[in-house]
């Protein structure tokens, strides 16, 4: 396994696979998107069935660089995947890195992928459980804003270890996810990324289903964005403007009163006046 790092802090991993097949594998460029902490890195590791990237079980995602992995997944020598994690985009939106750093993280990886090599497929990862409008907005950012609805998308649902049968949560919630959050996806795959004895059956099943979906829905010819640099700059500029236009949160006198230290003098204004209109 070779690891190549560039000056922007991102790196590529090339997976070397031994194959007795002489046919040239079919190549797919896949963008892996989703909010920080949903398990994008674990999904990439599961696809290759090997630990390629470091993961974190913490509440905050550990990935702060734009990674890519290239090679054939184990037992699938007929295909070659180049998988790129869009971490910089979401870390910027969530405020954990500056927009300038996010631009540097994404620039080299995604400019080549979008403008030159093209994209065959998007994997949008969500974590099993309650979803928010922010998740929907992130989906729209990638699928609609940057890819102009020209690239098919597969929804990947992580943390499905307690699903019985596997995919139960998706079947129960797919109407809400598709209609309410506007996930216009080709398919959805419930994933178990824990390769442990008690989850091994579901791990293998979900891995096989995801790779099969990649082969089924990936574009025959990759989509290439025109003027990607301008699109990416516009994207960040709009998000920064949007954040700056959000009015500051107004203080809540009632909560300030309830949260004041024990023994602190009460405010001059009666607490009851906060419930009445002057």
Beta bridge partners of 68: 12, 84
User: How confident is the model at residue 7, as a pLDDT?
Assistant: 41
pLDDT for residue 267 is more than 80:
no
Of 112, 93, 120, the closest CA to residue 34 belongs to 93
CATH architecture for segment(s) 26-50+64-239: 3-Layer(aba) Sandwich (3.40)
In angstroms, the CA 151 to CA 165 distance is 30
Helix residue spans in the chain (DSSP H) = 40-48, 87-93, 99-111, 133-139, 168-175, 200-217, 228-245, 253-259
Of 110, 113, 55, 111, the closest CA to residue 86 belongs to 110
* Lookup: tokens for 19: 């194959």
Of 167, 98, 164, the closest CA to residue 128 belongs to 167
Query: For the residues 36-57, what does the mean pLDDT come to?
Result: 80
Report residue 64's pLDDT band, with 50, 70 and 90 as the boundaries.
Answer: very low
In angstroms, the CA 198 to CA 54 distance is 22
Query: For the residues 173-193, what does the mean pLDDT come to?
Result: 91
pLDDT for residue 45 is more than 50:
yes
% of the chain residues with pLDDT over 70: 59
Of 12-26, 166-180, 187-201, which has the strongest mean pLDDT?
Answer: 187-201
């Amino acid at each position: 396994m070779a690891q190549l790092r560039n000056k922007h802090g991102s790196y590529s991993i090339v997976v070397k696979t031994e194959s007795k097949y002489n046919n040239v594998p079919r190549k797919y460029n896949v963008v892996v998107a989703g909010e920080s902490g949903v398990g994008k890195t674990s999904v990439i590791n599961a696809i290759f069935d090997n630990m390629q990237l470091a993961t974190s079980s913490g509440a905050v995602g550990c990935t702060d660089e734009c990674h890519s992995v290239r090679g054939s997944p184990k037992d699938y020598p007929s295909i070659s995947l180049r998988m790129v994690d869009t971490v910089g985009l979401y870390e910027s939106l969530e405020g954990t890195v500056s927009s300038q750093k996010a631009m540097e993280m994404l620039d080299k990886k995604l400019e080549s992928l979008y403008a030159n090599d093209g994209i065959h497929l998007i994997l949008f990862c969500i974590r099993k459980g309650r979803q928010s409008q922010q998740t929907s907005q992130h989906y729209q950012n990638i699928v609609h804003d940057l890819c102009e609805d020209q690239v098919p998308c597969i929804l990947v649902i992580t943390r499905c270890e307690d699903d019985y049968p596997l995919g139960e949560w998706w079947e129960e919630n797919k109407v809400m996810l598709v209609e309410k959050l506007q996930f216009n996806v080709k398919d959805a795959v419930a994933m178990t990324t824990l390769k442990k004895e008690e989850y091994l059956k579901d791990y293998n099943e979900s891995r096989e289903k995801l790779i099969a979906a990649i082969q089924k829905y990936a574009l025959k010819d990759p989509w290439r964005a025109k003027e990607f640099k301008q699109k990416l700059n516009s994207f960040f500029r709009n998000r920064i403007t949007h954040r700056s236009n959000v009015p500051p949160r107004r203080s809540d006198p009632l909560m300030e009163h309830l949260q004041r230290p024990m023994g602190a003098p009460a405010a001059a204004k009666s607490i009851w006046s906060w419930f009445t209109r002057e």
